[in-house]
Amino acid sequence: MKAFVCLAVLLVSCWAEEACKHSNIAQKTEEQVIAEVVRDADHDRDGSITDLDVVQFFVFNFDHNKNGEVDRTEFANQWHATYKDEKAFAEHVFDHIDMKTDGVLNIDDIPLLENRADTDGSGVISVSEFQTYLEAIYAAC
């Protein structure tokens, strides 16, 4: 019985480890991908991630069916195509950005994302705050 329990624990821990693992088909490091995402998200290159930047980055680039929202599949497919992270990892990123946990990214997620990522309370997400937020998402995997 002890052997069975040990085997079960080992299998579950191996499965959990594989469930979320940063893997990039272009061999990009986490740091490289994060730098690309931050660069792309700061659409106007002013050093902050504004509401407009978020809309331009996520909705314009990821909303393939043009319904004003980005669902998990759209996000994972575009993240994979753009940054070359595996789709399972892209879904992990989506799950952390979907602030309302309703399966879609839309304008309602923006204030919640700002509250989470704006660590200095300035009301604006700086590039460094967004980078730190992405680093935490990658580290949570």
- Architecture of the CATH domain 28-139: Orthogonal Bundle (1.10)
H/E stretch holding 97 = helix 87-97
Per-residue confidence (pLDDT) for residue 45, from 0 to 100: 93
**What's the predicted TM-score (pTM) here?**
0.80
What is the pLDDT, as a whole number, of residue 19?
Answer: 56
Query: Which stretch of 17-21, 123-127, 130-134 has the lowest confidence by average pLDDT?
Result: 17-21
Cβ(33)–Cβ(42) under 8 Å? no
b or e along 70-108 (b: 16 or more beta carbons within 10 Å of the residue's beta carbon)? Answer: bbbebbbebbbeebbbbbbbbbbbbebbbbeeeebbbee
- Rounded to the nearest integer, the mean pLDDT of the chain is 85
Contact between 88 and 20 (Cβ < 8 Å): yes
3 pLDDT higher than 50: no
pLDDT in the model for residue 78: 97
